[in-house]
Structure 1
Amino acid sequence: MKVTAGALNFDYDSGALRRICLGEVEIIRGVAYLVRDKDWGTLVPQIYDERIEDKRISYSATYESNSARLVVGVVIDFAEGLNFTADARATGDFETNRAGFTVLHPISGVAGAPVTIEHCDGSIRAAHFPKLIAPWQPFQDLRALTHHAGGWQISCRMEGDAFEMEDQRQWGDASYKTYVRPLALPWPYVVADGAAFSQAVRLTWQAAGSVETALPEPQISGVFPQTALVITAQEALLAATRPADLDVVKPQRLLCHFDATLHGLAELQAFAALQAVYHAEFDLELIARCDGDLDLEFASHAKDLEISGLRVASIMVCPSVDRQSTPPGSAWPPCPALADVYKAARLAFPDVILGGGMVSFFPELNRKSPPVALLDFVSHGLCPIVHDASDTGVMQTLEAVPHITATARSIIGAKQYRLGPSTIAMRQNPYGSRTIPNPEQARVCMSDDDPRHRELFGAAHTVGLAAALVGSGVEIWTPAGLYGPRGVMDWDGQVYPLAELLAVLAERAGQQVRAEIVPERRASLHFEGCTMQADLAEHRWSQELGAK
C-alpha cells in the first residue's frame, strides 16, 4: 500500500515500512519491528486492530514462540517527521534471539558516503559507511545516524535500547541494517512473563546543500563464466540412469557434494557411475571432518577417491565446523588452522586443483578468510532469503552482488574466483540448527524450499544474478542443482523454466558479454548474436536472437 503525505511517501506492507522517500529520493530502505526465534528464523506476527488514517497508522501484533507470546502495540505517526513506536509485553517466558526495531539504510549512493554518528552517551563523531563490506559491525552503541541523500539531510534516531549496525550487504541485502540488542549480549534470551519494554524510531529531515556522495560503479563487460550444477550422490545415481536429464542444460561442470561426516566410498562411486555416462568436468565439494589427524583423514579420502574411479578436475575443501556461522561476540568453535587443513589436502591431492573458502555464504568467508597463497581458487555461495523473503527483497539482493564480488576479490586477490551453489532457497542454514520448513509454499526466510525457484520468478532472478556477476572475474558459477526444490527439474523429470535459461547461458561460457541492470526493474545480458532480458518487477525473461 502506497502512503503519501506531502513530500514523504512510503510503502506500508504487513506492519512494516519500505522505500521511505522524499519525492523520488529514497532516504531509508525500511523500518520494521521484527522478532526472531532461536534459529534466527523470523516469526510471522498475527496483526489485528489495524487502523490506517491520514497521518497515522496503528495496529497490534502477536508473536508466538512455543507456548509464549509477545504482544506489541504499534503506532506510526507521520504528521511531523515520521515516528514509529512500539510497546511490547510478554505473556509467558518468551524465548527469542532478537525482538525490536530494524532500520535499513540503502546502499546506492550511500556506500562509502559520510555519516554522523551519535552514541548512547551523547558523543558525536563523523564517519563513513563502509565501501567494501565490513565483516563485523561497523558502528556500535548507536543512538542516531545522520546522512545525506538527494539534497536532504536525514536523521534517524533510535530509542529504547542500544542499537548497532551490521553491513547487511554480505548476506546479499541491499542495505546497512541497524538493529536492537547488541550481539555481544547472550542469545537466545528470555523476555520474562509480564515483562514490558518500549522502543521507537524517529526520522526527521531538512533540505541540505551539495554533499559528498558515493556514486555507483559503472557496469562493465566481461567473460561469461562456465556453468555448473551441484549434485548429490542420490541425484548422481538417478542421473546415471537418465543422462539425458543433464542435456537439458548441458553444464560444463558438475559440483559433487560430499560430506565426510556422513558420506564415504559409496557416494564417490555414485558420482563415478554418472561420470561413466556423462561428459563434463567433475568437481568435488569436500566437507572435511577435521577432527583428528589431518594427514590421515585426507589420505583416506584420497584412497577412497582412487578406489571409486572418480576423476575430479578440482577439489574444494571446507572444514565441517565452518558450515556454521560465528556471529560477533561468539566464541569460535574448535577447528585446526586452515593453513594446516589445506597443507594436508595438498599433500593428499598433489596433482588436483585445490580450492577453499566456504560451502555456505559470503559472510562466513568475510569473517574467516582462507590462506589464499595455499589455494588455486576460492569459492562461496549466495542465498537471497536470509533476512527478507519478499519478492521485492529477493530482487533487491541483486544490487548487493557487485559489492560482494568486489569485497571477495579484495580478499582473494588474483586467485580464481568461483561462485558456489547460489539458489533462492537455502540448502543448509549457517545461522541455526535447521532450514525453516515451508509446507505452505509461502515466502519464508531461510527455507530449503522456495516455490519461486521453480517459476518464471526464479529464471528472471537468475538473469539478474548473471548480469550482476559480469565484470567480477567469477570463472565458474553454480546457479542450481539438478533435481528437487533447488534443481532444474523435479525427480520425475518435469523441467522448470530455469532449465531453458541455463541452457542458453551454459552455451555461452567463455563469450564476451555486456550487462545492464536497473535495480528492481530490469536486467539484460548482451552477447554477440543474442540478448537476454529480465523484467525484475514482472518476474519474466526473454531472449532476442540476432541482437548485439
Structure 2
Amino acid sequence: MINDENHSRLFAPSETVEAAAWRAELRNDELSDITFNGIPVLRAIRAVVRDHDWRTLAPTVSRVAQHADGATTLLLDIDFAGFGSSYTGELAIHLMKDSVKVTFDGVAPAAFRSNRIGLVVLHRPDDAGRAVTIGSPGGASSPSFFPKDISPHQPFLDVSLMEWERDGTRFRLDFQGDVFETEDQRNWTDASFKTYSTPLSKPFPVDVSAGDRVHQSVLLTATPGPVVPVLRPGPERVLTVLDGGTARVPALSLSATSATAPRTRSEPIPGLDALLLELAPGPDAEGSIRRATDEAMDLDVPLDVRLSVDSPDRIGELLDLLPLDKVLRLAGFDAFSHVTEPGLWDELKDQARQRGFSGALLAGARSHFTELNRNAGRLPPDADAVSFSITPQMHATEVPHVVETLPMQRLVALNALRIGSGRPLHLGPVTLKARFNAVATEGDEAAAEATDPLQPETFTAAWLMGSIAALSVPGVESVSYFEATGPRGIRETGGLTPAGELLAAVAAVRGCEVLDVAGEVPGLVFYPVRDGGRTVLFAANLTAKSLSVVVRLPGGDSTNLELEPWTAVVRRVD
C-alpha cells in the first residue's frame, strides 16, 4: 500500500496549459514540456532558490488563471522553504499568440545565504548538436552548437539571448534581470541543458538580507516558417523481440548497509557480483570493515572497496585493516576533490602491490560523472577500469525528472568509455538520493537526507529496471545498486523489497545476451534476455497509467504484458 506522501509524488497532478499554438504542462511550479504547433521547444521554465550548499528549497504553490482573447495568464504565488531558509515569490506566465513570457518577482522574508535565486530554462536533451546563436548583453552575437558529447564546463557564457531553429520554426529566448549562462546538466544525468543566472564566475554564496528583491523575466518567441508537417508516432503497443543482440547483462552488486541501519541477515543472491564498501579513515573504520565482511559472507560474495582519504598517506593504514584476500576490486579517491588524484593513485598502486593484492585497481570519481568529465585529462592511464557514481536527484526530486535521467545514464556511460579509452566501467553506488553533497561549500549534511521514501515502493523496482537496461552496453562490466538491507536497501525485515526481487531476478541471468527489440512504447522499459534455451522478459512501467503490450517472440509466438503504474514484471517464456 503506497503511503500518502509517496502517492502524492507518484501521481502528482499535471495540468495542460494552452494558448493559440502553444501547449505546455503545469507541474506544481514548473511550466514543462513546452511545444509550439506540436514542435517540442523547451523541457521547462521554473524559478529556483538554492541555499549556500546548493540545496534546493522546496516550493509550495497557489495559483490564479486568467483567459482572454486567445491568451492565457497564470499567476503562481510560491513559498520556498527548507534547510532553515525561506523565500517567497510570484511567477507570472503569459502565453500569447507567438510568445510565452515568464516573470519572477521574489523577496526574502528573512536573511539567509544563497548560491542562486531566479529563473532557469531547461533545454531539451535532443537539442544536442543543434546550431544556436548566442547573444551577449553588450549586443554581440556568435554562432555555436549545443554540445553532442557531454560538456565538462559551461558551453555558453554571458548570455542575454539565444536563437535556434527546429522543424522549420525559428525560436528565440530573451533574458532580463541578470546575466545568464548555460551548463550541460547531462553531467548529473539530468535530461537537459540548463540556462541560469547568476554566472558562476561571481563569488558565492552571497548574503541575502530580509527585504532583498529579485526581478527576472524570460521571453520565448516563435517565428514560423513555411508549414512543415511534423509527424509524431502514434501509440504503438506491439514489440518484436529479435533473434540476437550486442549487449550482455552486467554483473550487479550491492553496497554495504549503512552503520546506522539495524543488522538484518542477508541471504545469498545467485549471480550477485560483490558487496561495495566505501571506506574512510576514522574511529569506525574497523567496525565498518567487520560489518561489511560479515554481510559479504552472508551474501557469499567478495568485497569491492572504494577508499576515500584526505591524504595519500592514509591509504596504507586502511589497507592494513582490510582482508585483501576477500577484495575483488580496489579504488581510491580524494575526500575533497572526489577524484583519483595522481599522487593518490601512485600510492594506492604501491601499497597494494606491497601487500600482494591481485585484484583490479580502479580510478575515477566517487561522486558524479561530472567530476570524472572535468578531470578527464588526469585519469591514470594504467588504471584497470573506471568508476563513478549515479544519482537521479542532484537538481530535482519530482518523479518525471527522476524517470528522465534513465536514458542519460546510458549517455554518461558511453562518454565515460570514451574518456577511459574503452577501459571497462564498474559503476556505483547508484542510489535514488545522493550519499553526500559533492558541491557543499560548508561541510556535508547530506547523509541524513540520503534516504528516499520511495525506496520500498514498486516504483523503485521499475526505475531499477530502467537503469539496468540503460547501462547494458558493452564495456559496462558491473553496477552496484542501493544497499543490502535497511531503509536504503533491497531487503526489509519482511524480506526483499520489489527492487530486491527485481535485482535478484536480473542477477540470476548475469552475462546472458540482451536481445534487440523492434518497436517502442512510451514509458515502457522492455528488456528481453536469452537464458540458455529460453527467453526471460523483463518489463517496467514508468508511467502513472496502466500499460498493455503485445510481445512477438523470435519463434513466432506472442504474449501479452499487463503492467500496473510504476511496476516491474518478469516473465519466462520457452
> What's 2:198 paired with?
181
Task: Give a deviation string over 1:323-343, Cα, whole Å, max 9, x none.
Answer: 49xxxxxxxxxxxx8222111
In 1: Cα distance, 2:84 partner to 2:259 partner: 39
Counting only pairs closer than 5 Å after superposition, residues 391-410 of structure 1 correspond to structure 2 as 391-410=399-418
**Could you tell me which of 187, 190, 197 is aligned with 2:214?**
197
Deviation at 1:262, TM superposition (A): 5.0
Letter in 2 for 1:500: E
Q: RMSD of the TM alignment (CA)? A: 2.7
Aligned residues of 1:229 and 1:481 also touching (Cα < 8 A): yes
| 1:243 to partner: Cα distance | 4.2
- TM-score normalised over the length of structure 1: 0.86
Answer yes or no: is the 8 Å Cα contact 1:470–1:515 preserved in 2: no
Distance across 1 between alignment mates of 2:341 and 2:226: 50
- Which amino acid is 1:252 matched to? D
SS of alignment partner, residue 366 of structure 1: helix
1:255 aligns with 2:255: no
Alpha-carbon separation, structure 1, partners of 2:212 and 2:17? 34
Match of 1:424 among 423, 432, 450: 432
Kept in 2, the 8 Å contact 1:235–1:482? The answer is: no
- Distance between the aligned counterparts of 1:311 and 1:86, measured in 2? 57
- Equivalent residue, structure 2, for 1:508: 509
Amino acid at match of 1:283: D
The answer for the alignment partner of 2:114 in structure 1 is: 96
Residue by residue over 1:61-89, the C-alpha shift from the partner in whole angstroms, topping out at 9 and shown as x without a partner, is 23357887533232211123101112223
Say which is worse superposed, 481-490 or 58-67, in terms of deviation: 58-67
Q: Kindly report which structure 2 residues correspond to 1:277-356, keeping only aligned pairs within 5 A, or say none.
A: 278-290=299-311, 294=312, 296-305=313-322, 308=323, 311-323=326-338, 338-350=341-353, 351-356=358-363
Q: Which one-letter code corresponds to 2:111 in the other structure?
A: D
Query: What residue is the counterpart of 1:15 in the other structure?
Result: 29
Deviation at 1:232, TM superposition (A): 4.3
1:448 Cα shift? Answer: 1.0
Corresponding residue pairs, total? 508
The aligned runs of 1:104-115 (5 Å cut-off) are 104-108=122-126, 110-115=127-132
Code of the aligned partner of 1:191: V
Cα distance change of structure 1 residues 69 and 260 upon mapping to structure 2, 3 Å threshold? closer
Residue in 2 that maps onto 1:458: 460
Instruction: Summarize the alignment of residues 28-47 of structure 1 with structure 2, pairs less than 5 Å apart.
Output: 28-47=42-61
Per the alignment, residue 215 of structure 1 pairs with none
Q: Deviations over 1:337-371 (max 9, x none)?
A: 82221111111112331111112111121122343
* Runs of 5+ consecutive residues of structure 1 not aligned to the other structure: 212-218, 325-336, 439-446
Structure 2 counterpart of 1:540, which letter?
Answer: T
Take 1:397 and 1:100, find their aligned partners in 2: how far apart are those partners?
A: 23
Identify the residue that residue 271 of structure 1 maps to in structure 2.
292
Answer yes or no: is the 8 Å Cα contact 1:342–1:374 preserved in 2. no
Query: Contact 2:266–2:484 at 8 Å: present in 1 too?
Result: no
Q: CA deviation at 1:209?
A: 6.4
Structure 2 segments unaligned to the other structure (5+ residues): 1-14, 229-243, 544-564
User: How much does 1:111 deviate?
Assistant: 0.8
Residue 501 of structure 1 aligns with an amino acid whose one-letter code is: L
2:374 corresponds to 1:367: yes
How far did residue 28 of structure 1 move? Answer: 0.3
1:330 maps to what in 2? none
- Identical counterparts, % of pairs: 26
Rounded Cα–Cα distance in structure 1 between residues aligned with 2:67 and 2:283: 57
Q: Does 1:530 align with 2:536?
A: yes
Are 1:496 and 2:500 an aligned pair?
A: no
Report the AA paired with residue 453 of structure 1: Q
Shift of the alpha carbon at 1:52? 4.4
User: Would the aligned equivalents of 1:113 and 1:128 in 2 still touch at CA under 8 Å?
Assistant: yes
Which segment drifts farther, 257-266 or 72-81? Answer: 257-266
Alpha-carbon contact 2:181-2:196 (below 8 Å) kept = yes
> Could you list the per-position Cα deviations for residues 157-182 of structure 1 after superposition, in whole angstroms to 9, with x for gaps in the alignment?
11111000000001111100000101
2:236 is matched with: none
Secondary structure of 2:344's match? helix
Query: Aligned in 2, Cα 1:412/1:208: closer, same or farther, shift over 3 Å?
Result: farther
The one-letter amino acid paired with 1:258 is: L
1:71 maps to amino acid: T
Inter-partner Cα distance in structure 2 for 1:71 and 1:366: 36
TM-score for both structures, normalised by structure 2: 0.82
Deviates more, 1:351-360 or 1:265-274: 265-274
Pairing partner for 1:156 from 154, 173, 179: 173
Q: What's the offset of the Cα at 1:141?
A: 0.5
Report the AA paired with residue 339 of structure 1.
P
Provide the C-alpha distance between the structure 2 equivalents of 1:437 and 1:302, rounded to a whole number of angstroms.
25
Write out aligned runs for 1:448-487 (5 A): 448-487=450-489
* Cα offset, 1:122, TM superposition: 1.2
Deviation digits for residues 391-421 of structure 1, max 9, x if unmatched? Answer: 1111111121222112111211121211111
Shift of 1:234: 4.2
CA distance in 1 between counterparts of 2:33 and 2:462 reads 22
Secondary structure in 2 aligned to 1:408?
helix
Q: 2:210, 2:36 → 1: CA distance?
A: 41
Q: Distance in 1 between matches of 2:295 and 2:523?
A: 40
Q: Distance in 2 between matches of 1:118 and 1:42?
A: 29
Q: Does the CA contact (< 8 Å) of 1:392 and 1:520 recur in 2?
A: no
184-193 vs 382-391, which moves further: 184-193
Q: How far does residue 385 in structure 1 lie from its aligned partner after superposition?
A: 0.9
1:539 aligns with 2:566: yes
